[in-house]
Amino acid sequence: MPELPEVEVTRQGLLPHLPNRTVRAIWWSGKKLRSEIPHTLLLEEIVNKTVITVDRRAKYLLIRMSNQAVLVLHLGMTGKLSIVPAATPREKHDHLALTLDNNMELRLYDSRRFGNVLVWPGKTAVDDERRFSDREGVEPLGEHFTVSNLFSLARNKKVPIKQFLMDGKRIAGIGNIYANESLFKSGIHPATPAGKITRKQWQLIIENTRRILQDSIKSGGTTISDFISSSGQPGYFQLQLNVYGKKDQPCPRCSTPIGKTELGQRATYFCPSCQPRNSRRKKQT
């Protein structure tokens, strides 16, 4: 389930545990995630190095080490991180464990194995990160998420606005839930061609997306002891969802039954009344 907020909550959950800790050992499952776990690089670049800090770019966590190497983690659909005592029995879908110098372990659990583990070696990390970051879209919570940038990015694009928002090459971190929710709040039909979105509408999308992401980060921010959840656990945000997964339920704003369709092979939820197709209509907050 990790979209930007869940990854950010995970990052914040790691911050009390990882910086200044030295990695003493690693274990990996031998199973392939999105790509093979680079165990040799982990041994060379991560073991016996100390964590400096944990950053996030798009839906990736960047664990920066004392030798400039970066351990890059992507949680895919089902990835979760936890910090547990090293003696805790491993679970079936654990795929990576880093044993720390306080005898705790950072563990990556991922049943569907759509996650990814990469290592940028200290020697090339700066270049590796630049190449990586150049491929990722603008950060919705960053300073470049502006009307002028998005309006020009979307110019002449026929792709539905919902798919545009979810395209990580253009905008980072917005997944299916938040694309649906943001467009509902903005009163914009998800199938509207991106190039048809007016500056005014972009302003709404920007404000609503930011607010929803930030609220969600806040709701998930209550970290439970030593478990860093990236799933529904502390994710109290699902209680605030307006349309996602709510097919046929009354729209919270106007009571019209929520509709469901498909865009880019992804379930798409919207209110047919609040998000009219020929969106020349009143908007809201």
- Which residues are the active-site residues? 2-3, 59, 266
Give me the least distance between CB of 95 and DNA, in Å please. Answer: 11
| C-alpha span between 220 and 231 (Å, rounded) | 10
Query: Closest Cα to residue 60, out of 148, 153, 132, 161?
Result: 132
- Which of the stretches 141-149, 162-170, 199-207, 277-285 binds DNA when contact is defined by CB under 7 A? 162-170
Window 54-113: residues binding DNA (CB under 7 A): 58-59, 74, 76-77, 92-93, 111-113
168 near DNA, rule: CB under 7 A:
yes
Burial (Cβ within 10 Å: 0-12, 13-18, ≥19) of residue 12? middle
Give me the least distance between CB of 146 and DNA, in Å please. Answer: 20
Q: In what order do the strands lie in the sheet with 94-100?
A: 23-28, 94-100, 104-110, 79-85
| C-alpha span between 104 and 53 (Å, rounded) | 17
- Which of the stretches 11-19, 38-46, 168-176, 276-284 binds DNA when contact is defined by CB under 7 A? 168-176
The 8-class DSSP code of residue 269 comes to E
Q: In which residue are the tokens 């467009």 written?
A: 183
| Helix residue ranges per DSSP H, 155-198 | 161-166, 176-186
Phi and psi of 177, rounded to 5°? -65, -50
| C-alpha span between 83 and 78 (Å, rounded) | 17
Give me the least distance between CB of 157 and DNA, in Å please. Answer: 6
- Which of the stretches 14-22, 120-128, 204-212, 264-272 binds DNA when contact is defined by CB under 7 A? 264-272
Q: Report whether 161 contacts 190 (CB < 8 A).
A: yes
- Binding pattern to DNA, positions 122-161, x when CB under 7 A? -----------------------------------xxx--
Give me the least distance between CB of 76 and DNA, in Å please. Answer: 5
Size of the site for DNA (CB under 7 A): 35
Binding stretches for DNA (CB under 7 A): 1-3, 6, 32, 34, 58-59, 74, 76-77, 92-93, 111-114, 157-159, 163, 166, 168, 175-177, 231-232, 235, 237-238, 264-267
